[in-house]
Amino acid sequence: MNQSQKTGIQKEVSLTHLNTLGLHSVAPLFMNITSETQLIELNEKGFFSEKRPFVLGGGSNILLSSRLSVPVLKMSIPGMEMIDDDGKNVQIQVGAGENWHELVSFAVQNGLGGIENLALIPGTVGAAPIQNIGAYGVELEGLFLSLKAYDLKSSSFRTFSKSECQFGYRDSIFKRELKGQMVVTSVTLRLSKKDHIIHDSYSALRYYLTQNKIQNPGIEEIYQAVINIRQSKLPNPSDIGNAGSFFKNPVIKQKQYNELKDNWEGIPGYPNGPGWVKVPAAWLIEKAGWKGLRSGNVGTYKTQALVIVNHGGATGQEVLEFSKKIQKSVSEQFGIDLIPEVNIVH
């Protein structure tokens, strides 16, 4: 048996069905990871010594080039374990390869709260802390306790507490100083068993609940409401390729916001710490004339301008060029630089 058979390394693997934008891409080397020991074995065989691998989760937040220059580790470590229960809260440790939405559904079905606003976010559990996923007024950091990761630099496992992850808006240390260095293998979350704290003040959620005459919603109602809102606004990647929000919502100085307000009536803005305002990128893109626009195989989604879609057959390069045109146009009209939320992988 040669080395590649022993370690399960595959060569020239298509990633087209492993990224939600549906971009054609090939990995020169590919390895499906189902256990922590596999990482140690691969390291001992020198698999990580030449080039640091790219860790692929659900492929829902990435823009891939047509041929990657690095090996790919597909994170598929399974498992879900209750490691603590004090009667009020539980601690649940989840394998990085588990599907995020399945975890949310499992929690809600079992009366566990705190995670319901994060229903239907595509991707894996291991990817969730990398960009501190968030939606409808809740971010992962609110329920996060710790994670375990394999450090490719020191070849050892390490546990990160919440503060060590340095979470920010769609941000963590794993997108900055430790970019590409840690392979998350499990995540531990705290969920409530009773006296759930309901987060229903996000405007789109509030509107939905009022329209549907839902008073005093419980975790199941919030879960269902979020699913219905997302399905009505965001494209399902199995119908049309996309990676959710393509850019982050920019945070600008209050002074700049005030100046923009004089020229652009109704520009939305949400306070984001003293002297700073967060402006919806979707609004800027829409006002710059890009909503629902199509250029070749790429476009923005008709009901959410922040989502770039692949109408079929687009390449990573095409998507990138399209996104740059949007950036240029928003910069020219508003003086605001949009920063991609998706991870661009070469």
Q: List residues binding ligand EPU (CB under 6 A).
A: 135-136, 170, 204, 233, 244-245, 248-249, 268, 280, 282-283, 286, 291, 304-306, 341
Q: From the CB of 84, what's the least distance to ligand EPU, in Å?
A: 29
State which amino acid sits at residue 266. G
Strands 241-245 and 307-310: antiparallel
Which CB sits closer to ligand EPU, 71 or 142?
A: 142
| Token pair of 270 as six digits | 């949400």
Q: From the CB of 294, what's the least distance to ligand EPU, in Å?
A: 15
Q: Which single residue brings its beta carbon nearest to ligand EPU?
A: 244
Give a three-class secondary structure readout of 65-134.
Answer: CCECCCCEEEECCCCEEEEEECCCEEEEEEECCCEHHHHHHHHHHCCCECCHHHCCCCCECCCCCCCCCE
The phi, psi pair for 273, rounded to 5°, reads 85, 160
Q: CB–CB of 7/42 below 8 Å?
A: yes
Which CB sits closer to ligand EPU, 38 or 245?
A: 245
Q: From the CB of 245, what's the least distance to ligand EPU, in Å?
A: 4
Q: Show the CA angle centred on residue 279, arms to residues 268 and 214, nearest 5°.
A: 60
Q: From the CB of 285, what's the least distance to ligand EPU, in Å?
A: 7
Which CB sits closer to ligand EPU, 27 or 282?
A: 282
- What count of other Cβ atoms lies within 10 Å of the Cβ of residue 330? 21
- What count of other Cβ atoms lies within 10 Å of the Cβ of residue 157? 15
Which CB sits closer to ligand EPU, 97 or 340?
A: 340
Residues 123, 162: Cα–Cα separation, whole Å: 21
Which CB sits closer to ligand EPU, 74 or 291?
A: 291
Q: Show the CA angle centred on residue 126, arms to residues 50 and 152, nearest 5°.
A: 25
The phi, psi pair for 67, rounded to 5°, reads -140, 120
Which CB sits closer to ligand EPU, 168 or 280?
A: 280
- Catalytically active residues, by annotation: 170, 245, 341
Q: CB–CB of 128/107 below 8 Å?
A: no
Which CB sits closer to ligand EPU, 14 or 236?
A: 236
Q: From the CB of 202, what's the least distance to ligand EPU, in Å?
A: 6
